Amino acid sequence: MRLQGKTVIVTGAARGVGRACALAFAREGADLALLDVCDDIDAVPYALGTASQLAHTAEQCREEGAAVLTAEADIRDVSTLRAAVDRIRERFGRVDVLVNNAGIVGPSGKPAHEIDEDEWQVMLDVNLSGAWRMTSVVGPLLLAQRSGSIINVASTAGLVGYRNFAGYTASKHGLIGLTKATALDYAPLKVRVNALCPGSIRDDSRAEGRMLGQIARALDLPVAESEETFLQAQPMNALIEPEDVAGAALWLASDESAQVTGSVLTVDGGFTAR
Q: For residue range 183-232, what is the model confidence (pLDDT) as tens digits?
A: 999 999 999 999 999 999 888 888 788 778 888 888 887 777 778 888 88
Residue type, 129: S
CA distance 106 to 122: 9
Q: With bands split at pLDDT 50, 70 and 90, how would you rate the model's confidence at 274?
A: confident
How many other β-carbons are positioned within 10 Å of the β-carbon of residue 103?
A: 26
Query: What mean pLDDT value characterizes the chain?
Result: 95
Q: Smallest Cα–Cα separation from 101: which of 150, 167, 156?
A: 150
pLDDT in tens, 76-122: 999 999 999 999 999 999 999 999 999 999 999 999 999 999 999 99
* Percent of the chain clearing pLDDT 90 (strictly above): 86
CA distance 274 to 271: 6
Do 250 and 2 contact (CB within 8 A), yes or no?
yes
| Strands 31-36 and 68-72, sheet pairing | parallel
In terms of pLDDT, which residue wins out, 233 or 158? 158
Q: What pLDDT was estimated at residue 228?
A: 84
What three-state secondary structure class fits 262?
A: coil
- Paired with 68 in beta bridges are 32
How many other β-carbons are positioned within 10 Å of the β-carbon of residue 18?
A: 31
> C-alpha distances in angstroms, 14 versus 1, 72, 131, 236, 255?
23, 10, 17, 29, 26
Poorest-confidence range of 11-20, 178-187, 228-237, 256-265? Answer: 228-237
User: What's the predicted TM-score (pTM) here?
Assistant: 0.96
Query: Helices in 93-195 by DSSP H: which ranges?
Result: 117-127, 129-145, 166-186
Q: How far is CA 230 from the centre of its chain?
A: 21
Do 133 and 75 contact (CB within 8 A), yes or no?
yes
- Paired with 9 in beta bridges are 33, 98
Told to judge if 186 belongs to the known catalytic residues of this protein, a careful annotator would answer no
CA distance 130 to 136: 10
